[in-house]
Amino acid sequence: MSFNAVTSSFKVARRRKSPLAETLQIGALAGLAAIGFALIGAYVAMDKRHVVEDTLTLSQIAYALMAIAAGFVAGRDTQGRPSGSRIVLHGALTGLVAGLCVSALMLLMASVSLRSTLVAASPMLTKALSLGAPIGSLQALAQVPILGALLGMIGGVFAAMPSRYRRALTCGFAIVLIAGLFRDVFVSVLDNVPDFNGPEAEVFGSGGLNRVPALVLLVAGGIFALLRDRWNAGHNPARRARSSKAGLVLLLVGVLILPLVTNDFVAQVAMLVALYMLMGMGLNIELGLAGLVDLGFVAFFAVGAYTVALMCSSGPLALVDVSFWVALPVAVVLAAGAGMLFGLPVLRVRGDYLAMATLGLGEIIRVLVLSDALAPYLGGSQGIIEIDHPRIFGVSLQSPAALYYLALALAGVVAFISWRLQHARIGRAWLAMREDEDVAQALGIDPVASKLLAYTIGAAFAGAAGAVFAALVGSVYPHSFQLLVSINVLAILVIGGLGSLPGVLVGAIVLIGLPELLREFGEFRYLFYGIALVAMMHMRAEGLWPATTRTKENARA
């Protein structure tokens, strides 16, 4: 196994400090996180987003969550059994320390001009952090630590609470947050419901939820979670498994009718999600099943997109001008061929080296496409424009919703193919290779054939995604095919769960859909990806919707 050299029985043991020191450390970490959040400009950007109209903004919620989380961790980490007063005290202390850090930042900003070095340390930030109190006043400086202590105390209480109530509160809060954040989506859904006039005006304000509905949603969510717990406790696990299947069906129905009940913007986002799902399923074959880390994956996407561009464009660079439906299979075949060409040289490279080799290959292709040398054929940085929209039965698929269904249909086909492949002989061969290549070879699996097949099929899926992308955007440019796309797809797989098909859907929704819908988020999405990747590896390495084999392995271990 390629990673044998890495492992050893050696492990760095964590030194235990006194509870008080740990509490202070957690508080300081939370404070640093809060300062970082403010100084990268996220606080000001997210302060514009009201979750509860005129009461709570997204950045205030983020700060509150930091304090509560710190209090929760401090409450949980104190050694021995949780005992009432200690937990509350430690929680309050972490919150206080975190708040003091933020106050220190405000004081620093008031006395020194940081603007020339740190672009986000603007007067707007000071104003936002003062929460309406006069800037630089004692009140502005004191209220943050006091609020922090209160919230930390809540976090401590949260840690001591029976898990039933904790789940209920979390559920209620999550519902309020989702309703507030995705106000636009819900409003557009309510708008489209016929004979149901104007409820959105009462529930939603111009930016987020109104106060009373927010409270109602919080309570309703809590009660719902409590009832569900009661119901689950009274029934056997088999029925619970059935109800998780029902969840999957609900998700599928939601996916199917989404663009019909919402507006064009949401449909466009959904279309992007479907595209990334296509790519995700491709990389899932390479990385999730066969264990081949491919960071040059975007090259196949580019091959698909450029093929369609060259075949369907009415611009000067086009080779032929045929229908999208002719170009699509050609794009898929060419991408698959590219995958094989790509896979051949790196057949014997493994692990981290493979990641770097594929990354290098992908970058070479991008630089070549961008260069003047190939510009007469591929348009260089100007790209290829005027790509025709696909037509079906004489109707041009132009609206985002129509293209969404096109991508969704392709994703469905691809999902079916990869599901069948996964459980076929070759799928099990891939899994065996992922676990231990040498043993797999000893058991009669041909590593060359199965690796090449993984590259080819994965590339074909990505090529299909590229083809739809070209048709959607109507133009292709080299800068659409940066390494970032490969990283996006990798992140989708890791967050969703390596080797898990529903995981790809979940990952694409969480990583592509949510940041697109939250406009304030846009600037910080890659930061969020990075944090999500790291946090996922630490807390839930198997992903949000793990593959069944993984779950079974974990249960046994």
Partner 1 sequence: MSEWLRRSTWVDHVLLAIRISVAALVLVGLAGGLTAGTYSAADFVSFTMFGLTIGSVYALIALGYTMVYGILRMINFAHGDVMMIGSFAGLFAAGALNDVGLLSALPLLALPLVLCAGMAGGAAMSLIIERIAYRPFLHVRSLAPLICAIGMSFVLQYAARGLFGTRNRAYPGFGWMEGTVSLFGLIVPIPQIVAFVAALIVLAGLLALVKLSPLGKAMRAVAEDRDAAALVGINVGAVIVATFAIGGAMAGVAGVLYALVFKQITVFMGFALGIKGFAAAILGGIGNLGGALLGGLVLGLAEALGPALILEGFGLPAPYQLKDVIGYGMLVMILIFRPQGLLGERLASKRA
By CB under 8 A, tell whether 487 contacts partner 1. Answer: yes
Q: By CB neighbour count within 10 A (0-12 exposed, 13-18 middle, 19+ buried), where does 529 fall?
A: buried
Q: Which region among 88-96, 181-189, 216-224, 344-352 touches partner 1 (by CB under 8 A)?
A: 344-352
Is 11 near partner 1 (CB under 8 A)? Answer: yes
Give the largest CA-CA distance in the chain. 77
Asked if 152 contacts 145 with a C-beta cutoff of 8 angstroms, the reply is: no
Per-residue HEC secondary structure of 277-332 comes to: HHHHHHHHHHHHHCCCCCCCCHHHHHHHHHHHHHHHECCCCCCCCCCHHHHHHHHH
Q: Choose, by CB under 8 A, the member of 135, 248, 368, 409 that binds partner 1.
A: 368
- In 3D space, the residue among 90, 231, 205, 75 whose CA is nearest the CA of residue 149 turns out to be 90
CB nearer to partner 1: pick between 100 and 121: 121
Residue 538 binds to partner 1 (criterion: CB under 8 A): yes
Residue number with CB closer to partner 1 (36 or 247): 36
Query: What are the b/e assignments for 439-455, b being 16+ CB within 10 Å?
Result: ebeeeebebeebbbbbb
357 forms part of the interface with partner 1 (CB under 8 A)? yes
Q: Does 524 participate in binding partner 1 (rule CB under 8 A)?
A: yes
Hey, what amino acid is at 467? A
CA–CA dist 251, 239 (Å, integer): 19
- Indicate the residue among 32 and 326 with the shorter CB distance to partner 1: 32
Contact indicator for 202, 213 with CB cutoff of 8 Å: yes
**Angstrom distance (rounded) from CA 504 to CA 489:** 9
Pick the binder of partner 1 from 227, 448, 519, 552 (CB under 8 A). Answer: 448
Piece in contact with partner 1 (CB under 8 A), picked from 54-62, 125-133, 229-237, 520-528: 520-528
Q: According to CB under 8 A, which one of 131, 479, 534, 552 is a site residue for partner 1?
A: 534
Q: Which region, judged by CB under 8 A, interacts with partner 1, from 89-97, 192-200, 222-230, 349-357?
A: 349-357
**By CB under 8 A, residue 557 contacts partner 1:** no
Task: Kindly tell me which of 180 and 499 has the beta carbon lying closer to partner 1.
Answer: 499
The answer to whether residue 392 forms part of the interface with partner 1 (CB under 8 A) is no
Which residues in the 256-295 window bind partner 1 by CB under 8 A?
A: 293
Among 82, 84, 199, 360, binds partner 1 (CB under 8 A): 360
Residue whose token pair is 């740190």: 118
With respect to partner 1, which residue has the nearer C-beta, 413 or 537? 537
Minimum distance between the CB of residue 207 and partner 1, rounded to whole angstroms? 23
In the complex, minimum distance from the CB of residue 373 to partner 1, in angstroms, rounded to a whole number:
4
The interface region with partner 1, picked from 4-12, 125-133, 152-160, 325-333 by CB under 8 A, is: 4-12
Q: How many angstroms separate the CA atoms of 435 and 39, rounded? A: 43
In whole angstroms, give the CA distance from residue 289 to residue 424.
Answer: 12
371 makes contact with partner 1 (CB under 8 A): yes
Distance of alpha carbon 365 from alpha carbon 406, whole angstroms: 28
The answer to whether residues 471 and 331 touch, using CB atoms and an 8 Å cutoff, is no
Interface residues with partner 1 (CB under 8 A)? 1-12, 36, 39-42, 117-120, 293, 344-353, 355-357, 359-361, 363-364, 367-368, 370-373, 448, 483, 487, 490-491, 494, 523-524, 526-527, 529-534, 537-538, 541
